[in-house]
Amino acid sequence: MNFWKTLKSPFTVLAPMEGVTDVVFRQIITEIGKPDVLFTEFTSCDGLVSKGKARVAEHLRFFTNEQPIVAQIWGVNPENFYHSAKYAASLGFSGIDINMGCPDRSIMTDGACAALINQPAIAKEIIHATKRGAQGLPVSVKTRIGLREEQIEEWIGFLLKQDIAALSIHLRTVKELSKVPARWELMANVLSLRKKLVKETVIIGNGDILSLAEVTEKFSKYECEGYMIGTGIFTNPWLFNTSVKLADVTVDARLDLYTRHIKLFNETWGDSKNPALLKKFCKTYIQNFPDAVALREKIMGTKTIPELLRVISSYRESLT
Ligand SMILES: Cc1cc2nc3c(=O)[nH]c(=O)nc-3n(C[C@H](O)[C@H](O)[C@H](O)COP(=O)(O)O)c2cc1C
Our answer to whether residue 45 is catalytic in this structure is: no
Cα 279 to ligand 1 centroid, rounded to whole Å: 18
CATH number for the domain harbouring residue 109: 3.20.20.70
Q: Are residues 152 and 278 in the same domain?
A: no
Q: For residue 258, with 0-12 CB atoms within 10 Å meaning exposed, 13-18 middle and 19 or more buried, which class applies? A: buried
- Are 264 and 257 in contact by the 8 Å Cβ rule? The answer is no
Domain count along the chain? 2
Q: Is residue 243 part of a domain?
A: no
Of 112, 95, 106, the closest CA to residue 167 belongs to 95
Instruction: For a ligand 1 pocket test, name from 14, 17, 142, 212 the mutation site with the most ligand atoms within 8 angstroms of its C-beta.
Output: 17
Instruction: For a ligand 1 pocket test, name from 96, 107, 231 the mutation site with the most ligand atoms within 8 angstroms of its C-beta.
Output: 231
Containing structural domain, residue 291: 250-319
- Tell me what pLDDT residue 319 has: 85
What residue ranges in the chain does DSSP mark as E strands? 11-14, 37-39, 43-44, 69-74, 95-100, 139-146, 166-173, 202-206, 226-229
Of 207, 150, 201, 156, the closest CA to residue 178 belongs to 207
Q: Point out the catalytic residue in the list 102, 113, 224, 282.
A: 102
Q: Is residue 166 part of a domain?
A: yes
Sequence-distant (6+) residues with CB within 8 A of 314 are none
Cα 181 to ligand 1 centroid, rounded to whole Å: 15
DSSP3 helix / strand / coil % (the chain, rounded to 5): 50, 15, 35
End-to-end Cα spacing for the chain: 53
Measuring CA to CA, how many Å separate 95 from each of 98, 220, 232? 10, 27, 24
Q: Are residues 42 and 191 in the same domain?
A: yes
Q: Are residues 183 and 268 in the same domain?
A: no
Q: Is residue 244 part of a domain?
A: no
Establish whether residue 206 lines the binding site of ligand 1, counting it when its CB lies within 6 angstroms of any ligand atom: yes
Q: pLDDT by residue for the chain (320 residues), tens digit each?
A: 899 999 999 999 999 999 999 999 999 999 999 999 999 999 999 999 999 999 999 999 999 999 999 999 999 999 999 999 999 999 999 999 999 999 999 999 999 999 999 999 999 999 999 999 999 999 999 999 999 999 999 999 999 999 999 999 999 999 999 989 999 999 999 999 999 999 999 999 999 999 999 999 999 999 999 999 999 999 999 999 999 999 999 999 999 999 999 999 999 999 999 999 999 999 999 998 889 999 999 999 999 999 999 999 999 999 88
Establish whether residue 10 lines the binding site of ligand 1, counting it when its CB lies within 6 angstroms of any ligand atom: no
Strand 11-14 versus strand 226-229 pairing type:
parallel
Q: Is residue 242 part of a domain?
A: no
Q: Is residue 91 part of a domain?
A: yes
Strand 226-229 versus strand 202-206 pairing type:
parallel
Cα 74 to ligand 1 centroid, rounded to whole Å: 14
> Domain boundary at 235, 269, 285, which?
235
**Residues 89, 94, 100, 101: what is their CA dihedral angle, to the nearest 10 degrees?**
-140
Q: Is residue 245 part of a domain?
A: no
Q: Are residues 215 and 263 in the same domain?
A: no
Q: Are residues 216 and 261 in the same domain?
A: no
Q: What's the rounded Cα separation, in Å, for the pair 124 and 266?
A: 41
Sequence-distant (6+) residues with CB within 8 A of 54 are none
Cα 41 to ligand 1 centroid, rounded to whole Å: 9
Residues in the chain: 320
